[in-house]
């Protein structure tokens, strides 16, 4: 870990939080940001509100130009799902042959998109679990869940030296780090969770606590999970037999006031990750001949507003 350099590409609710953890731990981390976020972090650093303790920190470097940062040992890619290809095309100045790029996007398509742009040697499959939101540029509120990152090689092989260094550094900085034996199955299990919570929350405009309280929304939550699991298995993903009941039990542990980022974006009229979280399951279900009536309903209900948000931004 000594002497390693890291970059966090995208400093929103997820990237900003983990960049701040790394910087607070004394690690060399460059933040790639833009617009008002860039200006705020340059001026005041990153401000973190968290039940684990509030803190402020100044990253080693803040820029909107990867060429100013130069090569690093690992990149945490934390842009929104629809920005992955654009970000990958811009990050070449950060890369040398051993550099690993960890994608933390919702959905299951980011890794494949990175491979298309960067080749297979750089991308590292991953996911994160955290409830966080941007209060203001450079100001992030961690609202719940133990901040966790899971990562692994797509083929299940041992982590490369730089991937292991990134995992160890994140753990030292204060994140929970997991290296599941089947990272693709873990990614689909997260999609099972986030599609259900995001989709049910967005169509009902309800918090996690409200979704749990009412039998119809609780049932919609379960149906979406079952459909995602069926689609995953049809695609050959070895998702666990108990994935749905285990995820429903996990939902009980989330703070009652919690909401998903896709839901918040839709509620506030911003472009969202609807296509990556919900639309992808619709597409994959159609390809595999798997019926997904609950997910189809959610997608049809939210698509017009998503198009409206994108046409006005």
Which residue, 141, 166, 181, sits at the end of a domain? 181
Indicate whether 307 and 294 sit together in one domain.
yes
Indicate whether 173 and 155 sit together in one domain.
yes
For the chain, the domain total comes to 2
pLDDT given at position 149: 97
Which residue, 154, 181, 208, sits at the end of a domain? 181
Backbone angles phi, psi at 77, to 5 degrees: -95, 110
Indicate whether 145 and 246 sit together in one domain.
no
pLDDT given at position 255: 87
Indicate whether 34 and 177 sit together in one domain.
yes
Indicate whether 209 and 120 sit together in one domain.
no
Indicate whether 157 and 49 sit together in one domain.
yes
Helix, strand or coil for residue 252?
coil
Indicate whether 240 and 263 sit together in one domain.
yes
Indicate whether 203 and 232 sit together in one domain.
yes
List the CATH number of the domain containing 216.
1.10.1040.10
CA dist list (Å): 255 to 140, 142, 208, 209, 211: 17, 12, 7, 7, 12
List the CATH number of the domain containing 151.
3.40.50.720
Indicate whether 150 and 224 sit together in one domain.
no
Which residue, 162, 181, 200, sits at the end of a domain? 181
pLDDT given at position 148: 96
Indicate whether 216 and 161 sit together in one domain.
no
Indicate whether 173 and 200 sit together in one domain.
no
Range of the domain at 283: 184-311
Backbone angles phi, psi at 147, to 5 degrees: -60, 115
Indicate whether 152 and 189 sit together in one domain.
no
Q: For the chain, 313 residues long, give each residue's pLDDT as a single digit of tens.
A: 456 899 999 999 999 999 999 999 999 999 999 999 999 999 999 999 999 999 999 999 999 999 999 999 999 999 999 999 999 999 999 999 999 999 999 999 999 999 999 999 999 999 999 989 999 999 999 987 899 999 999 999 999 999 999 999 999 999 999 999 999 999 999 999 999 999 999 999 999 999 999 999 999 999 999 999 999 999 999 999 999 999 999 999 988 998 899 999 999 999 999 999 999 999 999 999 999 999 999 999 999 999 999 998 6
pLDDT given at position 144: 75
């Amino acid at each position: 870990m000594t002497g390693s350099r890291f970059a966090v590409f995208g400093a929103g609710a997820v990237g900003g939080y983990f960049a701040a953890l790394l910087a607070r731990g004394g690690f060399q981390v460059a933040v790639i940001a833009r617009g008002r976020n860039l200006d705020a972090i340059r001026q005041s650093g990153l401000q973190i509100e968290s039940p684990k303790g509030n803190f402020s920190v100044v990253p080693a470097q803040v820029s909107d130009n990867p060429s100013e940062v130069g090569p690093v040992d690992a990149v945490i890619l934390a842009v929104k799902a629809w920005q992955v290809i654009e970000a990958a095309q811009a990050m070449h100045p950060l890369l040398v042959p051993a550099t690993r790029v960890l994608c933390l996007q919702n959905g299951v398509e980011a890794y494949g998109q990175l491979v298309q742009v960067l080749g297979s040697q750089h991308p590292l499959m991953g996911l994160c679990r955290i409830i966080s939101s941007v209060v203001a540029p450079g100001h992030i509120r961690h609202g719940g869940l133990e901040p966790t990152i899971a990562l692994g090689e797509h083929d299940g092989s041992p982590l490369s030296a730089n991937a292991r260094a990134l995992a160890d550094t994140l753990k030292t900085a204060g994140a929970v780090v997991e290296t599941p034996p089947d990272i693709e199955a873990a990614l689909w299990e997260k999609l099972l969770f986030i599609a259900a919570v995001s989709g049910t929350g967005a169509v009902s405009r309800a918090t996690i606590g409200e979704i749990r309280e009412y039998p119809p929304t609780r049932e919609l939550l379960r149906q979406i999970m079952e459909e995602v699991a069926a689609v995953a298995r049809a695609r050959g993903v070895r998702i666990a037999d108990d994935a749905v009941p285990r995820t429903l039990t996990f939902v009980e542990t989330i703070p009652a006031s919690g909401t998903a980022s896709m839901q918040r974006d839709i509620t506030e009229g911003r472009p969202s990750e609807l296509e990556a979280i919900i639309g992808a399951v619709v597409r994959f279900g159609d390809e595999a001949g798997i019926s997904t009536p609950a997910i189809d309903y959610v997608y049809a209900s939210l698509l017009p507003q998503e198009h409206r948000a994108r046409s006005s931004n």
